[in-house]
Structure 1
Amino acid sequence: MEGETKLFTREELKCRCKRDDAVLIIHNEVYDVTKFLADHPGGEEVLLEKAGQDASEPFEDVSHSSDARALMKKYKIGELVECDRVQTKNSFSPNWNNDQSQEQGKCVIG
C-alpha cells in the first residue's frame, strides 16, 4: 500500500509512550511498536524506555541486523514533519564536518 506518507510532529508523539500505544522515531521515520513489544528480543522495557522519543542513537548502538531492519518496515506508520527532522548519518552525507551546526535551529518546538 504505497500512499501518501502520514506526517507527525515530535510534540504529538511524545505522549505515545505506553504499553498499549508505543511509537519510536528512528532516522526521522515513525514506527508503531505496540504489537512488537512482546516479541522484541531485547525485551519490551528497552522499547518502552524510548517510546515517544527519538531512538535513532540507541538503535544504531545495538547494531541491529539486516533482518531486524527489514522487519521494521511492517511497523512504519509515517515520518516526521520537515521542521522536526534531524540530520543523521544514514540520510545525509557521511562526511561530517564542523559546519553541521549551521543547519540546526530552524524549527523551534514549544
Structure 2
Amino acid sequence: MNEYTRAEVALHNRMGDIWFIIHKYVYNVTEFIYEHPGGQEAHLRVAGKDASECFDEVGHSDEAEMLMKRFRIGVVKEGGHPGGEEVLLEQAGKDATEPFEDVGHSSDARELMAKYKIGELVESERKKIKEPVAKDWSTDNNTEDTSSWKSWLIPVTLGILATIVYRFLTA
C-alpha cells in the first residue's frame, strides 16, 4: 500500500482533488463527492486534513465503512511531528518557546526535542519570558489578614436562597 505524508495529503484540498485521512488511511474521494449522502460540503471541509474525528462523530453505517475501502489509496507515513509538518513550518525561524509551552507537551516530547537541539540563541537576542504574576483579588489596599464581609456575603446569601427553594419544592 502506498505511503503518504500529511503534507502530501494536505495538497489535495479542493474541488476536483479531494483526499483526506481517516484512522491512518488515506482516501481519494474526488469522484465520490457527488454521491455522498452528506453532500459535497462535508468532504470539502475536511479535504487535505485528518477527518477521523469528524467521521466518528457522524456515526457512519457498516455499509458506509465497507464502501470507503473502494477509495482507500494508502496509509499515512508516520515518523514526523504528530501535529503535522505545517505546525513546525509555521514556527520555523522564530522563537517557538511560547507556542511549545501553550500546547502542553509531554515529558516524552520534551526529551525527544532535546535530540534535535543544535544550539542556543545568544543571550542578547533572547526574549524575556514573562513570569506569571499572581493576581491580587482583594478589593481594598488593606494588607492585614482580615476577611472582608464582601467575600462571604454572596456565598451565604446563595446558600440561604437554595435552602428556601429546597424547602419550598419539597414541602
TM over 0.5: yes
More relative contact order, 1 or 2 (CA 8 Å, 6+ apart):
1
| Number of matched pairs | 89
Kindly indicate whether residue 51 of structure 2 is the aligned counterpart of residue 55 of structure 1.
yes
Q: Are the structure 2 counterparts of residues 81 and 41 from structure 1 closer, same or farther at C-alpha, using a change threshold of 3 Å?
A: same
**How far apart are residue 82 of structure 1 and its match?**
2.2
- Structure with greater proportional helix content: 2
State which structure, 1 or 2, has the greater radius of gyration over its C-alpha atoms.
2
**What are the superposed Cα offsets for residues 56-79 of structure 1, whole Å, 9 maximum, x if unpaired?**
000000000000000000000000
Q: TM-score, normalized by length of structure 1?
A: 0.73
Asked if the contact 1:24–1:51 (Cα under 8 Å) also holds between the matched residues in 2, the reply is: yes
Q: Percent identity?
A: 40
Q: Secondary structure at the match of 2:26?
A: strand
Distance in 1 of aligned mates of 2:55 and 2:49 = 12
**How far apart are residue 22 of structure 1 and its match?**
0.2
- Structure with greater proportional strand content: 1
Q: Secondary structure at the match of 2:31?
A: helix
Distance in 2 of aligned mates of 1:103 and 1:70 = 37
Q: Are the structure 2 counterparts of residues 82 and 44 from structure 1 closer, same or farther at C-alpha, using a change threshold of 3 Å?
A: same
**What are the superposed Cα offsets for residues 21-69 of structure 1, whole Å, 9 maximum, x if unpaired?**
1001000100000000000000011101100000000000000000000
| 1:1-110 mapped onto 2 (5 Å cutoff) | 5-84=1-80
Distance in 2 of aligned mates of 1:28 and 1:57 = 12
Q: Which runs of 5+ in 2 are unaligned?
A: 83-105, 114-171
RMSD between superposed Cα atoms in Å: 2.2
Q: What amino acid does structure 2 have at the position aligned with 1:45? A: E
Q: Are the structure 2 counterparts of residues 14 and 70 from structure 1 closer, same or farther at C-alpha, using a change threshold of 3 Å?
A: same
Q: Are the structure 2 counterparts of residues 46 and 103 from structure 1 closer, same or farther at C-alpha, using a change threshold of 3 Å?
A: farther
Distance in 1 of aligned mates of 2:67 and 2:80 = 25
Distance in 1 of aligned mates of 2:60 and 2:81 = 22
